[in-house]
Amino acid sequence: MIKHFLNLEWKQYFRSSYWQKNLALNILLVFFALYMIGIFVFLGIFLFKILSKMFPEQDPFIVANSFIFFWILGEIGMRFFLQKLPVMSVKPLLTLPIKRSTIVNFVLGKSALSFFNFFPLFLTIPFGISLLNNGYSASVVLTWLATMFLISLIANFLNFILEAFSAERELSFLPLIILVGGLYGLNYFEIISFQDIVSSGILAITENPIYLLIPFVVLVALYTFNYSILRKKLFLDASLKTKVKEVNASDLSWTKRFGDIAPFMQLDLKLIWRNKRTKSMAFLMVIGLLYGLFFYPQPMYREMEFMWAFIGIFSTGFFLINFGQFIPAWDSGYYKMLMSQNIKYEQYLRSKFILMVMSVVIMFVLGIPYAFFGWKILIAHAAAAVYNIGVNSHVILWGGSYNRKKIELDKKAAFNYQGTGAVQWLIGIPLMALPMALFGLLNWLINFEIAIATLVIMGVIGILLHKKLMAFITQKYLDSKYKMIAAFGKDS
């Protein structure tokens, strides 16, 4: 049975039209992974030295263990956004003579082989070797490595429970924030010192390997819980039943002032609000908005002027990048219909453009309180907003004409949770890195005013050329019309 499943997986992956057309992106992902591995290995090798320099009084091994609590929190957070429960189209399998438990065990088992679980090994193994070189006993090191691996697996299965929970209740990333934030908060305010609990727990295990059973039992419990969640979902009606909800129609007549593009704007707003995938994206805007708070409170980053441009582009352009990169795939489900309707392509695209511009303006206005950290930061954000409106919005619309991947907004497959992966985050890099580099370079070579002026001027040029650029972009879309229709008609 497993052999058949693996065979299906293999074919699904290599026969998907997406894979063949996005070779470049896959290569980029591989490079990104290699880069991360490199950093991890480097850190693993030198961690012992670094720690003994920084904390000369203490045992580096114990210091390292005291950080594991934060490591776990970080790992859960990363996984939540980057890792998906492996998808398997189970519907065709349900009527075949296959035990439901086999399907569930396969899906869960496959997730244990995920790259994310082996990633930490690139850090822990070199660190373990350096421990051995510094006279720690082999049994301690091996037990420690095993514990760390079990922790990874625990994070793996804990993440799926979190994802299932947030998908079911449509809570987006709220459960994650409550869990991670709650644990961090309890620890930070020293109500319960998880940092010490985790650290002394791991030390106890390394001293007495029999305690390895404890994380193992936790792992088995999480697995069983996942199993019961998935097992319940393995009925067609389970996913159907929860779907049918009463419509809450909102009054969108204010869009009428946009004239002939009003129907499309209403459609886009409904698209965003009524589909799980787009809705969680809208929620993520809060993170985009608050992104600066990760940096500005620390004087170190506040001094780094090139960061201002980056944060400005990111926080004002968060919606633009996330929404824009999937134009026109958002409408892929009914693209054929749109193309046979009496519409002007230019209106269709202009509606998306105005939506993105509105989001930039709103995000900028909401971000005005950043002025608290210095008025120069606000100016940098304003320049970034102008750049987003004038340059990035057009670039991303233009990029959309190369979009060939269908998005299934109403996918009812039981194992489909989030639909967002690492790829989505990578695409935004050039849009953000270029203005950041430009700003940083000019600021360094000449001065702050010139750097700001350059971003603003580029943005204004884009706005002035809007009509011409839109005509060019529209032509691009028209040229690839048949290709898009054909691609959107296929299932990934």
φ, ψ of residue 134 in degrees (nearest 5): -95, 20
Burial of 34 (0-12, 13-18, 19+ CB in 10 A): exposed
* One of 13, 118, 235, 334 touching other proteins (CB under 8 A): 334
Instruction: Establish if 337 lies at the interface with other proteins (CB under 8 A).
Output: yes
DSSP one-letter string for 199-213: HHHHHHHHH-GGGGH
Judged by beta carbon, residue 133 or residue 340, the one nearer other proteins is: 340
The sign one gets for the Cα dihedral 161, 167, 172, 174 is: negative
* Options 7-15, 180-188, 335-343, 427-435: segment touching other proteins (CB under 8 A): 335-343
What is the DSSP track for 277-341?
Answer: HHHHHHHHHHHHHHTHHHHTTSHHHHH-HHHHHHHHHHHHSHHHHHHHTTTTGGGGGGHHHHHHS
* Residue 249 interacts with other proteins (CB under 8 A): yes or no: yes
Among 100, 110, 231, 274, binds other proteins (CB under 8 A): 274
Cα 68 to Cα 248: distance, rounded to the nearest angstrom: 45
* Residue 57 vs 491, nearer CB to other proteins: 491
Stretch of residues binding other proteins (CB under 8 A), selected from 113-121, 262-270, 281-289, 416-424? 262-270
Give the nearer residue to other proteins in terms of CB position, either 113 or 337. Answer: 337
Angstrom distance (rounded) from CA 131 to CA 144: 11
Binding mask 339-378 for other proteins (x = CB under 8 A): xxxxx-----------------------------------
Stretch 214-243 residues interacting with other proteins (CB under 8 A):
243
**226 vs 275 by CB, closer to other proteins:** 275
Binder among 112, 450, 464, 486 for other proteins (CB under 8 A): 486
x-or-dash string of contact with other proteins, 388-427, rule CB under 8 A = ---------------------xx-----------------
Bin 192: left if φ > 0, else alpha if -120 < ψ < 50, else beta. beta
Residue range at the interface with other proteins (CB under 8 A); choices 93-101, 186-194, 246-254, 283-291: 246-254
Token code pair at residue 129: 């070797």
92: left (phi over 0), alpha (psi -120 to 50) or beta: alpha
Residue 263 found at the interface with other proteins (CB under 8 A): yes
Q: How many residues sit close enough to other proteins to count as binding (CB under 8 A)?
A: 29
Among 130, 152, 266, 443, binds other proteins (CB under 8 A): 266
Taking each helix axis as running N to C, give the angle between helix 213-233 and helix 138-169, from 0 to 180 degrees, rounded to the nearest 10.
20
Residues in 275-304 that interact with other proteins by CB under 8 A: 275
DSSP string, 81-123: HH--PPP---HHHHTSS--HHHHHHHHHHHHHT-HHHHTTHHH
Binding status of residue 253 toward other proteins by CB under 8 A = no
The count of other CB atoms within 10 Å of the CB of residue 288 is 21
CB-nearer residue toward other proteins: 3 or 257: 257
Residue 267 binding other proteins, by CB under 8 A:
yes
Binding site for other proteins (CB under 8 A): 243-244, 246-247, 249, 262-263, 266-267, 270-271, 274-275, 333-337, 339-343, 409-410, 482, 485-486, 489
